[in-house]
């Protein structure tokens, strides 16, 4: 028997969030900064990838939203640990080690190659030696990160806006995540696709996929919820949701809110960020989207919802 839908959402401080918590982020106004930041985060993410033990679905590579920006969380290194953080308040790249070393440099307009050189110089000063594959992931026509003089923009206002959206979104995602008793990912930021997401799993293996990245990422049936700044055919930031493998009938399921639409090319439901930020309660809009798209996949794929979901109080 399917678990009851969560139609009665509890009150939450984010229900009264201001427009400052959900600022405008028009893609055309910060696209150059977006592409530069994307490559900067790939450099930092690849450092974590090179040193952190492999976790299921590549969870070991992700970055995390915190109260200053994006962080690697502690990275193991020769019995110690260090952390790299993008500080989008003071606009600095910060390195801290468990034995008290602190280094950093300003986030400002500079090429990806210049950022690469500065970061590895800071790591060497702290006694950390690491190598990465400089080829960017999941981008068309990749330029090696240590040679990229093309992407060199940094608008501090839009970097800060991005972070504020990620903070507000991650708090809602964490609330949605807490409703699930089965295996569920953290709310984490993947630097390959430059998006924030959280993913639920029913426990069943999925049909094998080809490719190093996708075979690990989609080894088990999942339902994913995320936000990303847009790109390609999607010209605005959006929330997205998908079920993998996609069950028959998924795209025709009547999801909520009314502004949510299924994109047949992406095989994802989309809810545009601008529709959410203008809503009376952005939190409620996101949770409604999250719950209804999850229910679509879970029902059609016949997940055992009664054992996977935490019962919500009315």
39-58 pLDDT, tens per residue?
999 999 999 999 999 999 99
Q: Are residues 194 and 88 in the same domain?
A: no
Report the DSSP beta bridge partners of residue 63: 189
**101-160 per-position pLDDT tens digit:** 999 999 999 999 999 999 999 999 999 999 999 999 999 999 999 999 999 999 999 999
Category of 133 on φ-ψ map: left (φ > 0), alpha (ψ -120 to 50) or beta: beta
pLDDT at 3 over 60: no
295 within domain boundaries: yes
Which residue range forms the structural domain that includes residue 96?
28-125
Percent of the chain at pLDDT > 70 equals: 93
Q: Are residues 226 and 301 in the same domain?
A: yes
What pLDDT, on a 0 to 100 scale, did the predictor assign at position 144?
98
pLDDT at 87 over 80: yes
Q: Are residues 74 and 181 in the same domain?
A: no
Last residue of a domain, one of 125, 147, 179: 125
In what side-by-side order are the strands of the sheet with 238-244? Answer: 188-190, 195-205, 220-228, 238-244, 268-272, 261-263
What pLDDT, on a 0 to 100 scale, did the predictor assign at position 18?
61
Cα–Cα distance, 246 to 267 (Å, whole number)? 8
Mean per-residue pLDDT of the chain: 93
Q: Are residues 203 and 89 in the same domain?
A: no
Q: Are residues 48 and 173 in the same domain?
A: no
Instruction: Report the candidate in 189, 151, 206 with the shortest Cα–Cα distance to residue 71.
Output: 189
Q: Are residues 205 and 289 in the same domain?
A: yes
Burial class (CB in 10 A: 0-12, 13-18, 19+), 107: buried
171 within domain boundaries: yes
pLDDT at 15 over 70: no
Count CB neighbours of 66 within 10 A: 17
139 within domain boundaries: no
Report the DSSP beta bridge partners of residue 228: 238
Q: How confident is the model at residue 5 (pLDDT cuts 50, 70, 90)?
A: very low
1 within domain boundaries: no
Q: Are residues 170 and 45 in the same domain?
A: no
Domain total for the chain?
A: 2
145 within domain boundaries: no
Q: Are residues 182 and 276 in the same domain?
A: yes
Give residue 290's Cα distance to chain centre. 15
Cα–Cα distance, 281 to 300 (Å, whole number)? 29
**210-249 per-position pLDDT tens digit:** 988 999 999 999 999 999 999 989 999 999 999 999 999 9
Average pLDDT over residues 197-215: 95
Last residue of a domain, one of 125, 143, 172: 125
- Bridge-based pairing of strands 75-77 and 261-263 is unpaired
What pLDDT, on a 0 to 100 scale, did the predictor assign at position 212?
86
Cα–Cα distance, 136 to 243 (Å, whole number)? 26
Q: How confident is the model at residue 19 (pLDDT cuts 50, 70, 90)?
A: low
Average pLDDT over residues 281-290: 98
131 within domain boundaries: no
Provide the whole-model pTM: 0.92
pLDDT at 260 over 80: yes
- Asked if residues 107 and 92 have their Cβ atoms less than 8 Å apart, the reply is yes
What pLDDT, on a 0 to 100 scale, did the predictor assign at position 20?
83
Q: Are residues 161 and 281 in the same domain?
A: yes
Q: How confident is the model at residue 313 (pLDDT cuts 50, 70, 90)?
A: low
- Asked if residues 177 and 198 have their Cβ atoms less than 8 Å apart, the reply is yes
How wide is the angle at C-alpha 39 spanned by C-alphas 28 and 139, nearest 5°?
Answer: 75
Q: How confident is the model at residue 17 (pLDDT cuts 50, 70, 90)?
A: low
Q: Are residues 165 and 255 in the same domain?
A: yes
Count the helices and strands in the chain (H runs, E runs): 7, 12
What pLDDT, on a 0 to 100 scale, did the predictor assign at position 2?
37
Q: Are residues 171 and 228 in the same domain?
A: yes
Q: Are residues 91 and 190 in the same domain?
A: no
302 within domain boundaries: yes
Last residue of a domain, one of 125, 144, 167: 125
141 within domain boundaries: no
């Amino acid at each position: 028997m399917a678990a009851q839908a969560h139609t009665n959402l509890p009150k939450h401080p984010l229900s009264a969030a201001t427009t400052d918590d959900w600022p405008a982020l028009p893609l055309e106004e910060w696209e150059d900064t977006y592409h530069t930041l994307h490559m900067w985060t790939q450099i930092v993410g690849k450092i974590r990838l090179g040193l952190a033990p492999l976790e299921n679905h590549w969870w070991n590579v992700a970055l995390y939203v915190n109260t200053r920006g994006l962080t690697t969380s502690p990275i193991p290194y020769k019995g110690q640990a260090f952390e790299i953080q993008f500080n989008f308040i003071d606009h600095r790249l910060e390195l801290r080690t468990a034995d008290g070393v602190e280094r950093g440099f300003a986030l400002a307009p500079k090429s990806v190659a210049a950022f690469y050189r500065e970061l590895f110089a800071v790591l060497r000063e702290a006694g950390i030696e690491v190598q990465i594959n400089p080829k960017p992931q999941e981008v068309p026509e990749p330029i090696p990160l240590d040679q990229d003089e093309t992407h060199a923009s940094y608008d501090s206002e839009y970097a800060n806006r991005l972070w504020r959206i990620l903070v507000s979104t991650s708090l809602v995602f964490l609330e949605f995540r807490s409703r699930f008793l089965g295996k569920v990912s953290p709310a984490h930021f993947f630097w390959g696709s430059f998006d924030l997401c959280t993913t639920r799993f029913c426990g069943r293996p999925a049909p094998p996929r080809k490719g190093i990245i996708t075979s690990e990422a989609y080894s088990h049936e999942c339902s994913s919820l995320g936000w990303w700044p847009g790109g390609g055919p999607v010209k605005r930031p959006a929330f997205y949701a998908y079920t993998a493998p996609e069950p028959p009938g998924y795209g025709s399921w009547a999801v909520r809110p009314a502004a949510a639409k299924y994109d047949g090319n992406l095989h994802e439901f989309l809810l545009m960020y601008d529709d959410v930020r203008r809503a009376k309660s952005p939190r409620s809009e996101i949770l409604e989207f999250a719950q209804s798209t999850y229910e679509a996949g879970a029902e059609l794929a016949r997940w055992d919802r009664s054992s996977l979901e935490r019962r919500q109080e009315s």
